[in-house]
Homo-oligomer: A and B are copies of this chain.
Amino acid sequence: MHFEELIKAIKERREMLKVTQEGLAELSGVGLRTIKQFESGKGNPTLQTLQKIADLLGLELTLKLKNIAPDK
């Protein structure tokens, strides 16, 4: 997932849970400003920040092997 996809996934998940940016900020312990920046695509959050947010939304950050051109 590229940057934009990660953002989109988080934003959608937040909205699905009917949580506002403000709510997310309070509950996750991440500053509101930071969340705003991130969701509006202007941020480059640290892993810690990302994890706090994902955690609260019931999402998990994982690393998986990329499919490099699976031959056919």
Which residues in A have some Cβ–Cβ distance to B below 8 Å? 1-3, 6, 9-10, 13, 44-48, 50-51, 54, 58-66, 68
Contacts and interface: CB of A to CB of B under 8 A. Distances in A.
A48 B54 CA distance: 17
Interface of A is mostly: mixed
A63 B58 contact: no
Contacts of A44: 46-48
Contacts of A50: 47
18 contacts: A1-B63, A3-B48, A3-B51, A6-B47, A6-B63, A13-B63, A44-B46, A44-B47, A44-B48, A46-B47, A47-B47, A58-B65, A58-B66, A58-B68, A59-B65, A60-B63, A61-B61, A61-B62
